Chain A
Amino acid sequence: MSKVIKQDKDELLNVRKELAVQKVEKEKLAAELVTANKELVFQDKEKVKRAAELGIANKELVFEDAEKGKRAAELGIANIELDFQKDEKEKRAEELSLANKELAYQNKEKEKRAAELSIANIELAYQNDEKEKRAEELTLANKKLLFENKEKEKRAAELVVANEELAFQNNEKEKRAAELIVANKELAYQNKEKEKRAAELSIANIELAYQNNEKEKRAEELTLANKKLLFENKEKEKRAAELVVANEELAFQNNEKEKRAAELIVANKELAYQNKEKEKRAAELSIANIELAYQNDEKEKRAEELVTANKELKQAEDDIRKLNDELEQKVIERTAQLETANKELESFSYSVSHDLRAPIRAINGYTTILTEDYAEKLDADGIKVLHSILRGSKKMGELIDDLLAFSKLGRKQVTVSNINMTALVTLVREELLLEDGDKVPEFKMNALPAAKGDQSLIKQVWINLISNAVKYSKYKPKTTIEIGAYEKKDQVVFFVKDDGVGFDMQYYDKLFGVFQRLHSQEEFEGTGIGLAIVQKIVQRHNGTVWAEAKPDKGACFYFSLPNINS
């Protein structure tokens, strides 16, 4: 059992003793308190008795006071009597005065006594209070003691538990002790074993001693053998000398080998260093591998993302393609619709103008017959009216023809070939028909390059432009027309320049419009279709037409065509 447990046990015993002493003390104190309580009860009773006695004494004094009052009344009467009997009474008064003094003194004494009793009462009341206080204090002390007892009982219960714990621990310790005992037994057994071994070793020693003897015997034999060996040694020394030489040889060889070994060591170190380097490298590679593995993962993730992104892109592309297809389809449909509409319009304008020709011809024809065959039956005004009808019908016929020609342009197939422009313009010049009032123009021809286009259509362009130049120069003293060309990128630009009336550039927008005119019919005849036809033809050749002019300073018309190399 350990010391600590013993100490705990002693301490516990001491505590128990202490508790026993405290219990006895408490019981004594409780007994004393009971005695003191009884004493106090007794004193209370005594005080009650004394108070009763004092009550009676007081009543007696009251009664005596009443008696004294009566006596004093009697004395008053006696004094009255005494007034009568003065002499005697004075004597008697003196006696009474003395007696009064005596009574006064007695009263005073009684009052003193009453005051003392009153003080004694107060004193008793105070003492009662004190005793009550003390009783309360004792009651409190009792309660406290009761509480402390309970606490101590609790502590005792706890100690019991602690004791049980200790007892359990003791048991454990005893078990441990038992185990130690077993271990000791084991050790004792082992010691015995060791002693046995020692005994065996002792026997072995004896054996060794015997063997030593044997060895000494053997040593002697060896001495003999040594002598023999000495001889043999000499022989061997000879041999040794020989061997020395051989040894030197070997030493040399050893040196060589050492060198070689040193070299090998160096090589080994080198290898070791290289190994370390390789290990480092391997470690680095391992890290690099991990890094690569990580990067691969990242790349795979990225690749997946890209695949997803690609899919999305593909989807978007498909959508766009779909939309494009739809749009294209729509464009095709719309184009077809527009083409149909265009054809309808063209065939409409064609058939309208075509069908209008017959009635206008009829008007013109019959009016002409009237003027020719019935002129005598009409007066001058009638004939004038007929001429107005003729003029109008002629103009209308021209407009219809022009409209027909213009609407035909849109339907006409453009047959492109290389055009020899110089030859073409020359032909147009030769065929040019001049109207009344036109002057024979003076041409200034520059070299004209060849161009691509529909010969008959381009011929119409030249006819219209040159005719215009002639027409709008008719009020000038001389008609000069310059025709030329220049190349611009893959286009050839041709121009027709005159010094006629020109026009104001502010009306340029109307210049190429159908039936748009910048001059009055009185100034210059025309329907306003010529330049519209020029523009339509040039546009159908993917060319452009434009003009420059100043009023009264002439005009220059340009049109571009693809050159033959484009």
Chain B
Amino acid sequence: MTRPKNIDSPISPNIKHVLLADDDIDDCNFFKEALEGYQERTMFTIVNDGEQLIDLLITIEHLPDVIFLDINMPRKNGVECLTEIKRHKRLEAIPVIIFTTTFERGVVDLMYQKGAHYFICKPGEFLQFKKIIQQSLILLANGEIAQPHKEHFVLKVANTRAA
């Protein structure tokens, strides 16, 4: 667990606390890097598995404004975490953004059904990685509290490539 870190958030003042649950230390570092300079007053918490996430959420005094949730994690995976969060009265209102390497139709559908807010497939390129995290935070900051329509569920860095 990384210690909470206050970061200023000029773009999204509504988002004061970002929680990331990811077992990949590199991705955690990149995530941190992506937020740096943009949201200096925003608190950023990292947990490395689902068990830690649920324990933290149950015990924490100030709930995060958004949870970035990886799916493949040891012990409790993202799907189990999401299920528990959405069943928990105190937690169910927190927007959950799925942040994963997986991009499968079935998983995407399942996550939407379970009540996730957005679905992000981690881009391979760091610049895009950064871009999409910021994009999602802006969307949330602009008041997208309710679950969006299905066709806007998957967030993508605009890119249509051909062979």
Contacts and interface: CB of A to CB of B under 8 A. Distances in A.
B126 A364 contact: yes
A351 to B, nearest CB: 10
Interface stretch (A69-77, A185-193, A291-299, A355-363): A355-363
A467 B29 contact: no
B163 A368 contact: no
Contacts of A365: 26, 29-30, 33, 126, 129
B122 interface: yes
Contact of B158 (A354, A397, A398, A433): A433
Given A467-B161, A527-B163, A354 B102 contact: yes
Given A358-B26, A358-B101, A361-B30, A368 B162 contact: no
A81 to B, nearest CB: 191
Interface residues of A, number: 40
Given A432-B160, A467-B162, A529-B163, A364 B124 contact: yes
A433 B122 contact: no
A464 B101 contact: no
Contact of B162 (A354, A364, A400, A530): A530
Contacts of B104: 408
Interface string A397-438: 110111010001000100000000000000000011100000
Contacts of A364: 124-126
Interface of A: 354, 357-358, 360-362, 364-369, 393-394, 396-398, 400-402, 404, 408, 412, 431-433, 463-464, 467-468, 471, 517, 526-533
Cβ-closest 7 pairs across A and B: A530-B163, A397-B124, A467-B162, A368-B126, A362-B26, A365-B126, A365-B30
Interface residues of B, number: 24
A437 to B, nearest CB: 14
Main secondary structure of the interface of A (DSSP, over half): helix
Contact of B124 (A357, A467, A517): A357
A401 B124 contact: yes
28 contacts: A354-B102, A357-B122, A357-B124, A358-B24, A358-B26, A360-B124, A361-B27, A361-B122, A362-B27, A364-B125, A366-B26, A368-B126, A369-B126, A393-B125, A394-B125, A396-B124, A397-B124, A398-B161, A402-B163, A433-B158, A433-B159, A463-B160, A464-B162, A468-B163, A526-B162, A527-B163, A528-B163, A533-B163
A394 B126 CA distance: 9
Contacts of B124: 357, 360-361, 364, 393-394, 396-398, 400-401
Nearest to B163: A530
